[in-house]
Amino acid sequence: MYLPRSLISSLYLNLQRAHHPLSPPVIILAALDPDALCGCRILTELLKRDYMPHKIQPIAGYGDLEKAGRDVVRPMMKSQGGEGGVVVCLGVGGLVDLGGLLGIENEDGTSYDGVEVWVIDARRPWNLGNVFGGHPTLPQVEEDGQLVDQKHSGIDGGKLQRNYKSGQGGIVVFDDGDIEQELDAERDAYLALVDMPEVEDDEGEDDGSDSESEEDDFAEDSRPGQKRKSWSDRDEDDESDEDDDRPRQRRRSNSSSPIPESPSRPRQRGLISLDGPSALASSVSRSVSPTPAQPPKGPSARTLRRRLLKLRRKHESVLQKYYTLGSSYSEPISSMMYSLASELGREDNDLLWMTIVGVTSMELYGRSSVGVAISTQKALASRGWLGTRGSRTRQLLRDEVRRLNPPELAESSFNGNRNALPENSGIIPTTARSPTDTSIRLSPEPKFLLIRHWSLYDSMLHSPYLSAKLHIWSDSGRKRLHKLLAKMGVSLVQCKQSYTHMDMELKRGLRTKLLKYSEMYGLDDLVPASDTDGKDRGGTKEGWGFVRSWGWRATLSAQDVGVVVGAILEVGKKVITSIEGNDRGREKETVDENGKLEGEEWVGRFWDAYDALEKIEELKAALPTAQHLHRAILRTGTSLIEKRQIKHLRAFRMCIVKDGPDVALFTHPAALTKLALWIGEAIAEQERESKGKLGHGGRGTPLVVAGLNESRGVYVVVGTGGGGGGSMGFGDRQAAKEKKEKKEAKERARELKRANKQKVREQKREARRLALGDDEVDDEEDETESEGSDSDSDDEEDEEDDEKAQAKGFGRNKFGNAFQEVVAETSARVRIDSFEHCVVEVKKEDLQPFLESLSMKGVVG
């Protein structure tokens, strides 16, 4: 089931009305990333204000999610002695069959038993079983001598209506607008499969029945939410296959899970007991109408079965295409939670700040409308995050900042002189306006990293944007940076001082100098436009960042907070730092083969980051951790490029991090992803300068980075896209032109073929009529003709659907699908436990065959 955006507060209000002192607490399952963390902060604040008890359970991966289902969620079911309740999944479970993974679908057909699961996730694609199914099973009733399913009150085609009443349980997906706007075809196909009766193709027909049987087997083996075995499970299976008579796909590991590939037929299917031709005719939309001169005569049972099987294959194909489009991201979780707070009338500066940090963190991790990828173009596709919709979200946040921080109050210390404010003069604010100032301000933030807490030189040196544009990894790139600073009139001695202690005159003129010299170095987006530049459209301050003060204690930007919170989650608070140039390390912990203890360590970091979002002193204390991580990214990325360790395979570039002082830092998938994005930006800039354009048709070259976890003997592998998805380059335009010409040629050939078939049919009909003199010949021929014409039209529709799907999935990251295919085709021992599509773990000795097989796959749409 899904909750439309217009009713986003309805379930919360139902929960509020039904709450009483003995109500069970709300269970919150939160992913270990900054956006989910900020969304969790917003939700818990709302629950606290309404005096509703709640419990937070951090979830590191699918293994943790299954364990939480077994230990926390399933005991809530009424059939298990519980009282029901609400479980909120923030950033977890949107891609898998939650009912099966959490264990709240019973084998006897009953399900949920009062447990209602809310799913808020920015990752796509959705698991369509959660979106259009996920409602509890009701007892069947008898109508016209047949048992049929009861219809749920307040649910229409999986969509919750205003009159929906909570209490029976189910899975509810919070729609950010994508489901209603973009999934009409998938909804129709899913619901058609739900209502379609079971038909066994047991006649051995040669019209595709064999392929249909194979598709059913594949669909059963690739059930959404079904989890693949880890290497330990495979070893056990090799020893016990003879003794274990269970189907292989039913044996699950506690530490791996795939991405949905091919949808199975929905479990919530209301099967109707139908026998005979008349029953089959009721489920097929097209049938042959009888002529008035003859008694009604329907198609044969064999014909109806053939049509039904074909119709089922067509619907399953629609769902399969959706799952294979590739990964993408939509509206952030924190933004959805702020929308809920706004609908309830609870918005304030604290909740707004959590939202801003969460939204900003999406960009830090390269999460966009084309999946995890670098941003290679100014204007990406109009759909999804980082496109028009992302710009609109950021503009709404800027409007909220103005509304909740009125200028006349915030600027009272400047006697109402708006231009006297430092940020409006191009100076980024570094201090509060008063000891009690906790306001949020807009700031013309340059694309520097942690500038308030570093020197200007270090901030520019570790900026991913400047690293790519100036080639910071090389000696000539460092000289280029020094030359830029010299032209700006800033000496190396001055720029290596702490930025907050720099000369005030230098800080006042910094923006002007950056604007003057940035074009010489191709740094067009280094600083945002402002009112004084005359480039700001209508004073919207597009591209400006957000800054908040905590009195005299600190002033941080939203990007600063996102970077620090991410570093706590990825590195932890136990990092050992020293003067640059010396060795660094961290306290090591023993982990088992499946990473159980490592996952527990990551969960502990969740609480450190959760506290740091509220306690400014803890946030400031973690600043060295963030600096340490980004020094390691620069050091490791530079080493890989200088030593030419980035190899170019057929479908992507690849590098392996297996030695050096910082290897241990990149065993965390999110830290490795940041390194991959840094390297990807550098490669994209090299391609642009050497070839004048990006590879892969203007989308940039995909990249695979593997980081060695020596203690466990595995490689963490992450695949990032090259970005793109916006305007087409010359190669794409040429391909589109050729595709159009091929389509027109196919259409002409199809018309000619159709005319020839019609001519041959007429000749055959006339010959048989003269030879047999049987009127039934016409009926038989008409039925065959109808099937032929239906087949032609279906083929045309399928081609159009394919083209639409390809356009919709253009440029998306398909590493998740490719990883699944490699696992299915090879004997590589792979563990899929991350909620990210593009992250897997591979046994150390299996990495080479894994990458060789992966190089033959399509990794970007």
Mean pLDDT lowest among 142-146, 249-253, 479-483, 610-614 = 249-253
Annotate 654-713 with three-state secondary structure.
EEEECCCCCHHHHHCHHHHHHHHHHHHHHHHHHHHHHHCCCHHHHCCCCEEEEEEECCCC
Tens digit of each residue's pLDDT (9 = 90 or more) over 60-80: 999 999 999 999 999 999 888
pLDDT at 694 over 70: no
Tokens at 643, concatenated: 């030593």
pLDDT at 729 over 80: no
Q: What is the pLDDT of residue 615?
A: 92
Topology classification of domain 2-225+260-328: Rossmann fold (3.40.50)
Tens digit of each residue's pLDDT (9 = 90 or more) over 298-314: 678 888 888 889 999 99
Tens digit of each residue's pLDDT (9 = 90 or more) over 100-113: 999 998 766 668 88
Q: Is residue 842 within 8 Å of residue 823, measured between CB atoms? A: no
pLDDT at 715 over 90: yes
Tens digit of each residue's pLDDT (9 = 90 or more) over 511-530: 888 888 888 888 888 888 76
Summary mean pLDDT of the chain: 78
Q: Model-level pTM?
A: 0.80
Q: What percent of the chain has pLDDT over 70?
A: 72
pLDDT band at 316 (very low <50, low <70, confident <90, very high): very high
Q: How far is CA 496 from CA 200, 449, 475, 625, in A?
A: 75, 14, 18, 20
Beta bridge partners of 56: 28
More confident of the two residues 754 and 539: 754
Tens digit of each residue's pLDDT (9 = 90 or more) over 244-282: 433 333 333 334 444 444 344 434 333 323 333 333 333
Domain coordinates of the chain in residue numbers? 2-225+260-328, 645-727+812-854, 730-790
Annotate 348-373 with three-state secondary structure.
CHHHHHHHHHHHHHHHHCCEECCEEE
SS3 326: coil
Spatial distance between the Cα atoms of 7 and 160, rounded to a whole number of angstroms: 9
Mean pLDDT lowest among 73-87, 134-148, 185-199, 224-238 = 224-238
Which phi and psi angles does 116 have, rounded to 5°? -110, 125
Tell which residue, 603, 669, 628, has the closest CA to residue 831: 669
Tokens at 313, concatenated: 């294959």
More confident of the two residues 274 and 320: 320
Q: Is residue 406 within 8 Å of residue 439, measured between CB atoms? A: no
pLDDT band at 809 (very low <50, low <70, confident <90, very high): low
Q: What is the pLDDT of residue 509?
A: 86
Topology classification of domain 645-727+812-854: Diaminopimelate Epimerase; Chain A, domain 1 (3.10.310)
pLDDT band at 501 (very low <50, low <70, confident <90, very high): confident
